[in-house]
Amino acid sequence: MVEWSENERSIISNIFSNLDYNDIGPKALVRCLIVYPWTQRYFTSFGNLYNAEAISTNPKVAAHGIKVLHGLDRALKNMDNIKATYAELSVLHSEKLHVDPDNFKLLSDCLTIVVAGKLGSAFTPEIQATFQKFLAVVVSALGKQYH
Amino acid sequence: MVKWTELERSTVKAIWEKIDIDEIGSQIWARVLIVYPWTERYFGSFGDLFTITAILKNVKVAAHGRMVLKALDKAVNNMDNMKRTYADLSRLHFQKLEVDPDSFRLLADCITITIACKLKSALSPQSQAIWQKFIYAVVDAMSSQYR
C-alpha cells in the first residue's frame, strides 16, 4: 500500500481544491489528443478531430475531459485505497474500452503539464514530485486489472 | 536523421528564445534531483543535497543546470545534425560518467515542465508536441554512443 505523509496529502488536496475542473479537464484531454495523436482512436464517436483547432473546440472532448478529471476525485477521497477504488474502472478500460494502459501515463503527463502551466512558478519541484507520485499511483491502479 | 518542417524549426527557436538560460537552468536541475532523487547518485561532489531546501540553494546544482541548457543550445542550432553534435558528449556520459541513459528522458521531462511553468498557456498543445519531438531527438542523440 502506498504511504502518504501529511505534507503530501495537503499538497494534493490543495492542488485539486484550486483547480477549475471545467477548464483543466478539457485542456488535459485536448493536449493528449494533439501531442499523442494515436489516442484519438478511442474517440471516433466524438466527431471532428481532424486538426488541433477542431480538437480544441470539440464539445465532446471537453465534456469527456471534465468527466476524467472528476474521476480523479475518487482517488483524492480514497488515497489510502486507490487500487480498490479504481478496480472497476480498470476492468472497464481493459475489457470494454480496450484502452492500451500505456495511454494512462500519457494523459497523466499532459495533466501535469496543464497544471504546471496554470500554477507557473508555484508548481515547485516538491509539488511536482508529489503530484507525479499521486498520478503514478492512479495510473498503476487503472492498469491493475489488465491481463 | 530526423526531419523538421519549417513550422517545427521556427516553433523550437521561438520557445528557445523565451528561455533565460540562467533562470531556467538552475530550476531544471533542482527539479530532476527532487522529483527523481536517485539521480543524486551522480553528484556526490555537489555537497549538501540532503533536503529539498538544500538542493534549491545549492550553487553547484544551479551551475550544472545552466551548463546543461547551454549544451542544449547546440541542438537548437544544429537540428539536422544532432547525433554528430552530441557524439562526444554521449560517449562521455557512457564511458566516463556512467550515466543511465534513462536519466536523459527524466531530464527532458523536467525541462518540458519547467518551460510549461514559465510559458504557461503560450506552450500550446501544438508547441508542446513539437518541443517534445525536439527534446526526445536530443535524448536519442545523447544515447547514441551507448553500446
So what's the ipTM on this one? 0.88
**Any idea where the domains of chain A sit in the sequence?**
6-143
pLDDT at A43 over 80: yes
Contacts of B38 in chain A (CB under 8 A): none
> Would an 8 Å CB–CB cutoff place A96 in contact with chain B?
no
Tell me which of 3.10.150.10, 1.10.490.10, 3.40.605.10, 1.10.150.20 is the CATH number of domain B6-143.
1.10.490.10
3-state secondary structure chain A: CCCCCHHHHHHHHHHHHCCCHHHHHHHHHHHHHHHCHHHHHHHHHHCCCCCHHHHHHCHHHHHHHHHHHHHHHHHHHCHHHHHHHCHHHHHHHHHHCCCCCHHHHHHHHHHHHHHHHHHHHHCCHHHHHHHHHHHHHHHHHHHCCCC
**Any idea where the domains of chain B sit in the sequence?**
6-143
Contacts of B34 in chain A (CB under 8 A): 125-126, 128-129
pLDDT by residue (tens digit) across B67-116?
Answer: 999 999 999 999 999 999 999 999 999 999 999 999 999 999 999 999 99
**What CATH class does A6-143 carry?**
mainly alpha
Sign of CA dihedral A144, A36, A14, B28: positive
Average pLDDT of A115-120?
Answer: 97
Instruction: Please report the pLDDT score of residue B92 as a whole number.
Output: 95
Rounded CA-CA distance A28/B124 in Å is: 11
Indicate yes or no: CB of A125 within 8 angstroms of CB of B119: no
Instruction: Please report the pLDDT score of residue B147 as a whole number.
Output: 80
pTM over the 0.80 mark: yes
